[in-house]
Structure 1
Amino acid sequence: MRKFYLVFLFGVLASSCRERISSPGPVSLTFDEISSLKVGGEAAAEITTYDPITQKLFVVNNSDGLSQVDVIDFSDPVNPTLLSPIEITPFGGGLNSVAVKNGMLAIAIEAETKTDPGTIVVFETSNLLAPVANLTVGALPDMVAFSPDGRYIVSANEGEPNDDYDIDPEGSISIIDTQKGFEVSTLGFASFENQRAELEAKGFRIFGPNATFAQDIEPEYVTIDPTSDFAWVTLQENNGIAKVDLNNKMITDIFPMGLKDHMLSENEIDVSDRDGISGNFQNWPLLSFYMPDAIETFQVGNNNFLITANEGDTRDYDGYSEEERIKDLELDPVAFPNAELLQQDENMGRLTITRSQGDIDQDGDFDVLYGIGGRSFSIWNGSTGELVRDYNRLEKELISAQPNLYDDGRSDNKGVEAEGIEIGEIRGKNIVFVGLERSDAIMVYQINGAAGLQLLQVLDGIDKPGDTGHDAPEGLLFIPAEESPNGKPLFIVSSEDDGKITVYQN
C-alpha cells in the first residue's frame, strides 16, 4: 500500500507542478559569475543575508580574531563595496548566523563560554548604531531565520558540550515574536523522552555520554514554510528533523531520518582514498545515517516538502569521540566472514564510521557498520517526515561534469560533504543549489514536482588563472528578481576558507 501511495503521490505532484511552473518558450536557467569580494581570511565569509530595503549584504566574519558582521553596499552587484562593520564583541563570543526581513537584521551570537545561554541581537537595517533588541536564547545559537511574514525569528540553539564533555547544555529552539515586544519562547526536548525507544528504532541517535535526551539533542539549521505557520529544524548529530508549530510555540514532532543501505544497487559508495581509483563506486556492507546540515522547504500545491543536504557530522571531543576507522575495529566473524579483506586500506579499512553503535549483542565486536552522512541530498514529506527521494547521483554527476573537482582524498570520510542547500524560483521554475564543502563547488538543479531533478550546472567559481574558486562554500543565498538591486535573479556563495563572497547572475 505504501509503494502505491508514493507512486500515486509522485504522479499527482508532478502533474500539479507541471501545470504551475510551465511557461512558453525556452528559459535559460544558467548562472554566470559577475563579481566577487574578499572580506578576510579563513572564517571571514560563512553566512550572508540580503536586505532589499537598503540594498546591503550582511556577512558573518570571525576571521583573524574578529567577531563582526561585515556590511556591503550591494546596490551595484557588479561592484560590491565594504562599508563599516557591526562589532559583535560587546554582545558575546563568536558570531554564527545572520538573517534579514522587513528592515530587521537578526544576529545569532554564542556566549563567551559556548555552553552558556546565547544571544539574538536585532538591529534595524536603516540604523546599525544600536540594537533594538538584545535577547537571551539557548546555548550556542547556530542558525537564525525569519518567518516569511516577518513576525517570528527562530533560532536553532545547538547546545554542544564542552571539549571535556562534562558540561552538556540542552539543545533548544527559540521563537521570538516581533509583534509582542520580541517575546522569547525557548523550547526544549525533554517531553520526547518517553518516545526515545520508538525514535531510536527508526534511526534516531541518542548517544552522548551521561546525557539526558534533552541534552543530547543538537539543533542545527532552520527552515520555515511560506505561510509562516511551521518551522523544521535539523538535528544533525541525532539524524532527525524537529517540526515546530510557531503560532502555538511548541515542538510537535521529531522525524527520525532512518538509515541508508549501501548494499542496495542505487546506493553505491566510494569508501577508499587508497584504491587508486577516483570515484570507485561499489556496494559495501554499510548502513549510513543521513545527518543533514542545511534544510529548505518548498510547496507543491498545498503540500510542504523539505530538502536536506546530508553532510554528516560526528562528535569528536577530548572527552568523547565516536570516530573510528573500520580497520581498527574488531568485526564479528559471523556477520563479516571476509573481515580481513574488508579491512584492507584499498577496501573499507580507512573508512571513518561511528563506534557509538554496531555492537548489537554487546560482546565487544561489531556486528553492523554505521556510516556518517548520506553523501546526497534528500526530499522529505514535511507533514510526516517520510522520505520522498534520496538523490544519490550527486557525486557521480560531479565527476561526469567536472572530474577535477572530485576530491578522492575524502572518499574515506563523508565524501563531497553536501552541506548547504538553497531554493529559488526563476520564472516559475524551482531551482535547487547544493553546496559541496569538500569539492568547492555548487551543483545547480531544476526540481519538478516533489521528486523530479535535473542537473543544470556546476559552479566552481574559477574564473581566472590562480583563482581557486569557492574554498569550502558554506552559505548559499538566492535573491529573486523582484528583490534584486538590478532586477535580475542573483545567487551568492559565501566561502569560509578563503573569506570570499562570489556573485552569480541568471
Structure 2
Amino acid sequence: MFKRSLLALTVMAALSGCSLDGDDGAQGATGPAGQAGAPGQAGAVGQPGKNLPRDLNVEVVGRFNTGIYGKSAAEIVQFHKTSNSAFAINSAENQIDVISLANLPVAAVGNGVTDNSLTSVPFTFPANVSVKDANGADITVTLGEANSIAIYGDMLAIAVAAPVKTDNGAVLFYSLSATGVGSFIKAVAAGALPDMLTFTPDGSKVLVANEGEPDTDYLVDPEGSISVISLVNGVPADTAETINMTSDMVFSSDLLKAADYNTDAKRKALLQTAGVKFAGPDGMTVAQELEPEYITVAANGKTAYVSLQESNAIGIINLEDMSIEIKALGFKDWSQYGIDYTNEDEVASFQHLPNVYGMYQPDTIASYQWNGATFIVSANEGDSRDWDAYSEDIRVKDIIDVDELNKTFSTELQALYDATGGDDGLGRLKVTAALVDPDDDGVVDKLYAYGARSFSIWDQNINMVYDSGDDFGRISAAVLGNNFNSAHTENKGDNRSDDKGGEPEAVDVGAIEGRTYAFIAQERSGDLFIYDVTNPFQTAFVSHYNNRDFSTNFELDDDLDNPCDVAEGMDCTEVPMSGDLGPESVKFVAAEHSPNGNPLLIVGNEVSGSVTVYQITEK
C-alpha cells in the first residue's frame, strides 16, 4: 500500500514539473460584455435641501440720505431696470429722487446706519396738467403731492392728489430714457386722493386706489373708488373707467340674489353681518366708508385685490366685468397670542388677553403664485378714523370713565382689567369705540384693537392660510431688548405697545435661488422680517434686521410744520447718526434685474428721509 502511494506521488510530481517548464499558450479572445447591472438607488437629498428654510445674508450695500427729517422725503420706492435706478417719492420737495444704482457694490458698506454713498438727480412734474373729462373736453387740473409711483418697462406712472385732498387727482405718464429722464406722455383724471397705483403684469392697465378720505370736519366725504386706465401700445387711454362701491359691488354667494343687495342699506347690512367695520358719522354710505389703500394684481391680470384698511377688509376686483366683492378679514384672538399692551412699564412684556381682539387692517399687500393659485400677503398695520368731526380712537380706561363713554365691563373683562394693572395696564391699550358696545346695553364684553402686529397670507377667496401670530413682537424684543416697540420719532422703547406695536407697514414678495420670500418692514420700530413663503402652508421665519442705532438721543414731531423745531422742544442733531426711521415701502429686485447681480431690497424710510439698498443672498 505504501509503495503504491509513493509511486502515485512520484508520477504527479513528474507531471507537475513538465507543466511548469512548458511554453505559455496564446492569449484567448475577449469574452462578450456582461449584462448591465440594475440602476442604483437614488442618493439622499443634500443638506441645503433638507435644512429649509435656508439662511440669508442681509447686508446694506448702498444708502441715500436726503437730509430732510420727518417730512416724508423718502416714501414710495420703485426700480427702473434700464437706467439701473431707484425712484423715490420726496414729498418734502414734491419731486421724485432718481438714485443711481449702476455702481452698486457686492460688498457691504462700512456702516449701514450712517452710509450716504448713493446720489440722486431730481425728477419734477408740473403744477398743472390738462386732462379729458367724461365728455372728452380738456380741463386743467391743479396738482398737489405725489402719493405713489409705478414702473413697467420704461413707463412711469405717478399718482398725484389735488391740493385739496377731497378733489379728484390725476395720473401722470412718462416714458423713461436709458438714464431715467422722463418724457411726458399724458395725464389722466383719477378719483379723490389717488393714494396708490400699479400696472397689471402685462402692462395693459394701470389700477389706481382712490382713497377718498373726508376733510377733518366731514363737510366733504368723497367716495372711495378704483380707476382703471387702459394702455394700447404704450399709450394710455384719455379717460379711466371707474369701479365704484355701489352698483359695481357684487356678492358671490348663491344664497343671495341681486335684489338682496340692490340698495345701500342692504349692502351695508350684509357687510356688517359679515364683519366689515363701519366707523363714521351717521349717514355715511358704503362707498364713503370703503377707502381703497393698496392694490396687488394676480399673475393672470384678470383679478386684483385691494386692501380696505379702516374697514378691516380686502376687495376682490374682477377686471373682466369691472366688479368688486368685499371680504371681511375677521378678528385676531389675543387670548391665543402674547401681546404687550401698555407703555407704562417701559419693558417688553407679553400676556394672553381673553376677550381682546385685533383687527387685521392691512396697509400694503402683495401677491404670488403657488400650485397655480394666487395668494395674498398682507402687512397688518391697523388704522383708525381720527378726524375733528369724528374719532373712533379711545383707550380702554376711557370706556368706563364716567366723563367719557361711561360703560361697564363684563365680569370677565373687569377681572382681566384689574389683573393687568387697571388704568396703567390694559387701560392704556387703544381700541375702536365703533365696536365697543354693539347691542348698546351698556355692558362691554369684548375689545377690538387696531392691527394684528403680524403679517398674514390669504388664499384667492380671502380665507386665511397663515398668520405670524406674535412673532414680530417676540423676535424684536429678543433682539432689541427694551428698545422694542420704539417709535420712529425718538429712541424710547416700549412707547408704541399701547397703540399698534411696531406697525407692520410694507411688504413685497420675491424669489431667491428658487425659494419665495416675503419681506415685511415695521414702520415704527424699523424692523425688517423675512419669511420663506414658498409653500404658504409651510411658512417659516428666516431672518430679522434693523438698520437703526438705538443709542442716539433725538426727538422730532412729524405733525409739526418743522418736525425739528427747537422752539417746540425738538432736537434732530443726532438723527443723521440714528439710521433708518419709518420704513414706508419696500421693493424687491430679482437677481436677473439687479445692477450688481444679486437680489436687492430697496426700502424707503419716510422719517429719516433715507433710501436703503439691501443685498439679500443665501449663506
Unaligned runs of 5+ in 2: 1-44, 106-116, 130-142, 250-263, 401-406, 486-493, 553-576
Matches within 5 A, 1:15-54: 29-41=56-68, 42=70, 43-54=72-83
1:122 CA displacement: 0.8
Equivalent positions of 1:45-444 (< 5 A) are: 45-63=74-92, 66-78=93-105, 80-87=118-125, 89-90=127-128, 92-126=143-177, 128=181, 130-179=183-232, 181-182=236-237, 183-191=239-247, 192=249, 193=264, 194-209=266-281, 210-251=283-324, 253-264=325-336, 267-330=337-400, 331-335=407-411, 336-338=413-415, 341=418, 344-382=422-460, 384-392=461-469, 393-403=471-481, 405-407=483-485, 408-444=494-530
In the aligned structure 2, how far is the partner of 1:404 from the partner of 1:274?
12
Contact 1:138 1:174 in 2 (8 A): yes
Question: Measured at CA, do residues 295 and 138 of structure 1 come closer, stay the same or move farther in structure 2, by a change above 3 Å?
Answer: same
User: 2:482, 2:421 → 1: CA distance?
Assistant: 28
Query: How far 1:159 moved relative to its partner?
Result: 0.3
Instruction: Work out the CA distance in 1 between the residues paired with 2:548 and 2:288.
Output: 43
The answer on whether the counterparts of 1:88 and 1:95 sit within 8 Å (CA) in structure 2 is: no
CA distance in 2, matches of 1:282, 1:123: 51
Opposite residue 459 of structure 1, the aligned amino acid is Y
Corresponding letter in the other structure for 1:89 = A
Following superposition, the deviation at residue 100 of structure 1 comes to 0.2
Partner of 1:452 in structure 2?
Answer: 538
1:151-200 deviations in whole A, cap 9, x for unaligned?
11111110000011121000011111112742411111013443322321
Is contact 1:175–1:186 with CA below 8 Å preserved after alignment? yes
Relative to 1, partners in 2 of residues 1:181 and 1:33: Cα closer, same or farther, differing over 3 Å? Answer: closer
- Taking the aligned partners of 1:74 and 1:95, their CA distance within structure 2 comes to 23
Q: Once the 2 structures are TM-superposed, how far is the Cα of residue 328 of structure 1 from its aligned partner?
A: 1.0
- State which drifts further: 337-346 or 230-239: 337-346
AA aligned opposite 2:497: S
Q: 1:460 is aligned with what amino acid?
A: N
Distance in 2 (CA, whole Å) between partners of 1:455 and 1:337 is 36
Which whole-Å deviations, capped at 9, do the CAs of 1:441-495 have from their partners, x for residues lacking one? 2111222411323322222124899632220111101100111112211111110
Partner of 2:20: none
One-letter amino acid matched to 1:214: A
Mapped to 1, the partners of 2:236 and 2:603 lie a distance apart of 34
The CA RMSD over aligned residues, in Å, is: 2.4
Amino acid across the alignment from 1:386: N
The question of 1:493 aligning with 2:603 is answered yes
Displacement of 1:364: 4.3
Q: Percent identity, aligned pairs only?
A: 34
Give the Å deviation of 1:283. Answer: 2.2
Deviation at 1:353, TM superposition (A): 0.6
Cα pair distance change 1:376/1:68, threshold 3 Å: same
Q: Could you tell me whether the CA contact under 8 Å between 1:260 and 1:287 is conserved in 2?
A: yes
CA contact 2:195–2:293 (8 Å) conserved in 1? yes
- Cα shift readout 1:203-234 (whole Å, capped 9, x = no counterpart): 21122213111111100011111222211000
Distance 1:339 1:483, change over 3 A: closer
Maintained 8 Å contact 1:310/1:378: yes
Write the distance in 2 (CA, Å) between the matches of 1:287 and 1:167: 32
Structure with higher Rg: it is: 2
| 1:401-442 deviation line (CA, Å, top 9, x unaligned) | 333541211111011101111111011111111111111121
Deviation at 1:298, TM superposition (A): 1.1
Query: 1:276 Cα shift?
Result: 4.8
Task: For 1:50, give the aligned amino acid.
Answer: F
Contact 1:309 1:377 in 2 (8 A): yes
- CA, structure 1 residues 476+226, in 2 after alignment: closer, same or farther (shift >3 Å)? same
> 3-state SS of the aligned residue for 1:177?
strand
TM-score (norm 1): 0.89
The more displaced of 67-76 and 330-339 is 330-339
Please tell me the residue identity of whatever aligns with 2:96.
V
Contact 1:440 1:469 in 2 (8 A): no
SS in 1 for 2:293: strand
1:162 aligns to what SS in structure 2?
A: coil
Please report how far the alpha carbon of residue 326 of structure 1 lies from its aligned counterpart in structure 2 after TM superposition.
Answer: 0.8
Change (3 A) 1:332 1:367: farther
Cα shift at 1:394: 1.8
Give the aligned residue type for 2:463.
E
- Secondary structure of 1:411's counterpart equals coil
- CA distance 1:349–1:337, change in 2 (3 Å): closer
- Number of matched residues? 481
CA spacing shift, 1:250–1:131, aligned 2, 3 Å: farther
Alignment CA distance shift 1:505-1:23 (3 Å): farther
Q: Secondary structure at the match of 2:209?
A: strand
- Corresponding residue of 2:19: none
CA contact under 8 A between 1:422 and 1:434: conserved in structure 2?
A: yes
Deviations 1:327-381 (A, max 9, x none): 1112434453437626723321111111012213324453332111111111111
Give the structure 1 partner of residue 253 of structure 2: none
**Amino acid corresponding to residue 326 of structure 2 in structure 1:** I
Instruction: Name the aligned partner's letter for residue 99 of structure 1.
Output: A
TM-score normalised by length of structure 2: 0.74
Whole-angstrom distance in 2 between the partners of 1:219 and 1:88: 26
Residue identity opposite 1:345 in structure 2: D
In 1, distance between residues paired with 2:218 and 2:451? 23
- Whichever residue aligns with residue 395 of structure 2, its letter is R
